DNA sequence: CCGCATCCCGGGGGATACTG
DNA sequence: CAGTATCCCCCGGGATGCGG
C-alpha cells in the first residue's frame, strides 16, 4: 500500500481519500487517535485483534501521509506518542458523515446490539 | 467480501460503512451512478481499467447491500440498468465531505494536474 | 516498552474465454 | 449486450520471534 504516491491516477477526490484510509484498521486508528494522543501499546490495546506489525505499518503509512504525528522520546523505557496532525483532524471531520451514515443504516436497527461495544470508542461520531 | 453480514463485529459506524465501500472500485461505481442510471457496458466504459468480472461482482455486492438497484428488461438485445437506491444516494451524500477532503488535500496543490480528468466524472463533490 | 524481520496464507481482483 | 466461469497472481495482513 504505497498510499498517496500515485499522482494523476485518481479520478476524483474520493478514491484519493480511499487510498489514504484504505487499510483494514486505518479508520479505527484515526478514530482512537481522534480523542487523545496515544502510545503504541495503548493504541494496540484499544484495537482488539490488531497485530503489532500491522499497527506499526499502518502508523508509518499514516505518518507518511501526514495524517499522524509521531513523537519519540529518548527515554528508558522508550516512549512514543502518536497524535493526529491538523490534516488528520480534518480527515476525521470529513469521515464523520460516513460514520453517521454507517450508524444509521447498518448499526442502527437490526444490528443495534453492536452499539454496546461502541461506547468503548472515543467520542463516537 | 461478504460485506455487511458481520453483525456485532463493528466497533463504530465508520468501519461498518468501510465494509460496504471496501471494494477497489466501489466508490467509483457509486460516483458514476450518482448522476444518472447506467447500463452495464456504459458503466464499464466509464471505469477505465475495471474488468467485467470485478464490475459484476461489485455491482452484485452493492445490490445486496441495498445501495444500487438493478432493473433487468427482458428484451433482445438484453438490457440492464443500474441506479442508486435512496440508501445509495444517502451514502453518496455521506461520502461527499471525504471527496472534498481528498480534492483539497491530495489532488489540490501538487497533484492539481489530475483535476483535468475529474471533469469527466458526474457532478464532482 | 516499542517496533522491525520473517514466514505464511487467503482472497481480492486481473486476464481470458465462453454462454444466453 | 450482459454477464458467467476459470485460472492465477499478488499483497494485505495474521503469527511468531528478535532487537534496542
> Per-residue pLDDT tens for B105-124?
998 765 444 433 333 334 44
- Give contacts of B113 with chain A, Cβ < 8 Å: 7-8
Question: pTM for the complete prediction?
Answer: 0.84
Is the Cβ atom of A1 within 7 Å of strand D at any atom? yes
Give the domain CATH number at B71: 1.10.10.10
A111 within a domain of the structure (yes/no): no
A74 within a domain of the structure (yes/no): yes
B17 within a domain of the structure (yes/no): yes
- Tell me whether residue B85 is exposed, middle or buried, using C-beta atoms within 10 angstroms of its C-beta: 0 to 12, 13 to 18, 19 or more: middle
B109 within a domain of the structure (yes/no): no
Cβ atoms within 10 Å of A46's Cβ, excluding its own:
19
Q: Residues of chain A with pLDDT > 70: what percent?
A: 80
Residues 6 or more apart from B2 whose CB is under 8 A from it?
Answer: none
Residues 6 or more apart from B43 whose CB is under 8 A from it?
Answer: B29, B32, B33, B55, B59, B82
Instruction: Identify the pLDDT of residue B76.
Output: 86
Q: Flag the least confident range among A114-118, B18-22, B47-51, B83-87.
A: A114-118
Angle at B102 between CA B48 and CA B85, to 5 degrees: 65
Q: Which domain holds residue B69?
A: 13-85
A51 within a domain of the structure (yes/no): yes
Angle at A63 between CA A91 and CA B97, to 5 degrees: 10
Say how many domains are in chain A.
Answer: 1
Q: Gap from B53 CA to D8 C1', in Å?
A: 14
B96 within a domain of the structure (yes/no): no
Instruction: Identify the pLDDT of residue B52.
Output: 95
B52 within a domain of the structure (yes/no): yes
**Alpha carbons B49 and B123: distance in angstroms, whole number:** 21
- Give contacts of A17 with chain B, Cβ < 8 Å: 98-99, 101-102, 106
B120 within a domain of the structure (yes/no): no
- Chain A with chain B: Cβ pairs closer than 8 A: 168
Nearest alpha carbon to residue A124 among A111, A104, A24: A104
Q: Flag the least confident range among A70-74, A107-111, B63-67, B99-103.
A: A107-111
Mean pLDDT of B50-63: 95
Closest residue (CA to C1') to nucleotide D5 in the complex: B53
Q: Residue with C-alpha cell 451524500?
A: B93
Q: Gap from A37 CA to D8 C1', in Å?
A: 44
Amino acid at each position: 500500500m504505497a498510499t498517496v504516491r500515485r499522482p494523476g491516477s485518481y479520478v476524483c477526490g474520493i478514491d484519493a481519500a480511499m487510498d489514504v484510509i484504505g487499510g483494514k484498521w486505518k479508520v479505527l486508528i484515526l478514530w482512537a487517535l481522534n480523542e487523545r494522543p496515544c502510545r503504541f501499546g495503548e493504541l494496540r490495546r484499544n484495537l482488539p485483534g490488531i497485530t503489532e506489525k500491522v499497527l506499526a505499518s499502518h502508523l508509518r503509512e499514516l505518518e507518511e501521509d501526514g495524517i499522524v504525528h509521531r513523537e519519540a522520546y529518548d527515554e528508558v523505557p522508550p516512549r512514543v506518542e502518536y497524535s493526529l496532525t491538523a490534516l488528520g483532524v480534518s480527515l476525521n471531520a470529513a469521515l464523520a458523515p460516513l460514520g453517521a451514515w454507517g450508524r444509521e443504516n447498518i448499526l442502527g436497527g437490526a444490528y443495534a446490539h453492536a452499539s454496546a461495544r461502541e461506547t468503548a470508542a472515543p467520542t463516537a461520531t
